């Protein structure tokens, strides 16, 4: 029996990603879940509870990529729509988030979609568990709207370097947030080859507008050092 966490006012919506369709259940309002104590401790906000435009854009990008059999790591997965698409496309995704309840919704939504079991792991970028590093390296590392604060750049760049192989690719969807530039700079300085693409979303945009940047990082021609 599929079970969603019940201590929430829940809504269910159908999300179309190219030819795929998923019925996603999630809390009605992320704002109503804000906990002042959690925010005071580490500026933690319940961004996980919404289907953000960048997540939709990243999910759409994965539909046409050849990822069957690939080991995929999603950082800051939230409701994990990109991981669900990866699972549907034959990849082996690991969805990670620092909110255990987000991962509970992700697993339940994947099961409800008939995708089977979605692999998840609780991960705080500032002190990632050894289990994450033991599960690497990954073929593809993805994230949607993960660089929303400047402090995340160093955390993510260091974490990505530790779970990547020389052949790993990284794909970050970003609604043009200013602090995303710091993450791009940190990864380029680490030796990643960088390209940027623009995608325009048809669904409800956030305050940044309808254009999403896709930051893609791959192995540089001369190679790069891997910790």
Instruction: Give me the CATH number covering residue 199.
Output: 3.40.50.150
What pLDDT score does 107 carry? 96
Task: Please indicate, yes or no, if residue 3 is contained in any of the structural domains.
Answer: no
Task: Please indicate, yes or no, if residue 225 is contained in any of the structural domains.
Answer: no
Nearest CA among 106, 119, 169 for reference residue 143: 169
Task: Please indicate, yes or no, if residue 197 is contained in any of the structural domains.
Answer: yes
What pLDDT score does 3 carry? 79
Report yes or no: 97 and 125 within 8 Å, Cβ to Cβ: no
Please state, as a whole number, how many other Cβ atoms lie within 10 Å of the Cβ of residue 78: 28
- Total of domains in the chain: 1
Task: Please indicate, yes or no, if residue 123 is contained in any of the structural domains.
Answer: yes
What pLDDT score does 197 carry? 94
- The Cα–Cα gap between 205 and 175 comes to 9
Domain interval for residue 93: 48-219
Task: Please indicate, yes or no, if residue 30 is contained in any of the structural domains.
Answer: no
What pLDDT score does 225 carry? 45
- The Cα–Cα gap between 61 and 89 comes to 12
Task: Please indicate, yes or no, if residue 25 is contained in any of the structural domains.
Answer: no
What pLDDT score does 50 carry? 84
What pLDDT score does 27 carry? 87
Instruction: Annotate 72-92 with three-state secondary structure.
Output: EEEECCCCCHHHHHHHHCCCE
Task: Please indicate, yes or no, if residue 41 is contained in any of the structural domains.
Answer: no
What pLDDT score does 28 carry? 80
Nearest CA among 75, 38, 107 for reference residue 174: 75
Q: List average pLDDT for each run of 10 residues in the chain, which is 227 residues long.
A: 76 92 86 56 67 93 96 96 98 96 95 95 95 97 91 93 96 93 94 93 68 90 46
- The Cα–Cα gap between 160 and 35 comes to 29
What pLDDT score does 148 carry? 80
- The Cα–Cα gap between 177 and 66 comes to 28
Task: Please indicate, yes or no, if residue 70 is contained in any of the structural domains.
Answer: yes
């Amino acid at each position: 029996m599929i079970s969603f966490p019940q201590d929430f006012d829940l809504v269910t919506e159908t999300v179309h990603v190219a030819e795929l369709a998923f019925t996603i259940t999630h809390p009605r309002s992320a704002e109503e879940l804000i906990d002042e104590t959690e925010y005071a401790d580490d500026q933690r906000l319940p961004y996980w509870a919404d289907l953000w435009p960048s997540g939709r854009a990243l999910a759409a990008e994965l539909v046409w990529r050849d990822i069957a059999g690939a080991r995929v790591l999603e950082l800051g997965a939230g409701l994990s729509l990109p991981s669900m698409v990866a699972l549907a496309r034959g990849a082996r995704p690991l969805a990670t988030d620092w909110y255990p309840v987000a991962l509970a919704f992700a697993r339940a939504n994947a099961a409800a979609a008939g995708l089977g079991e979605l692999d998840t792991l609780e991960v705080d970028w500032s002190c990632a568990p050894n289990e994450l590093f033991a599960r690497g390296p990954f073929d593809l590392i993805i994230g949607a709207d993960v660089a929303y604060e400047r402090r995340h750049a160093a955390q993510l760049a260091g974490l990505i370097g530790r779970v990547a192989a020389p052949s790993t690719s990284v794909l970050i969807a970003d609604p043009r947030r200013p602090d995303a530039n710091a993450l791009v700079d940190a990864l380029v300085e680490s030796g990643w080859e960088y390209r940027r693409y623009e995608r325009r979303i048809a669904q409800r945009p956030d305050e940044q507008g309808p254009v999403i940047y896709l930051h893609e990082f791959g192995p540089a021609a001369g190679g790069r050092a891997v910790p």
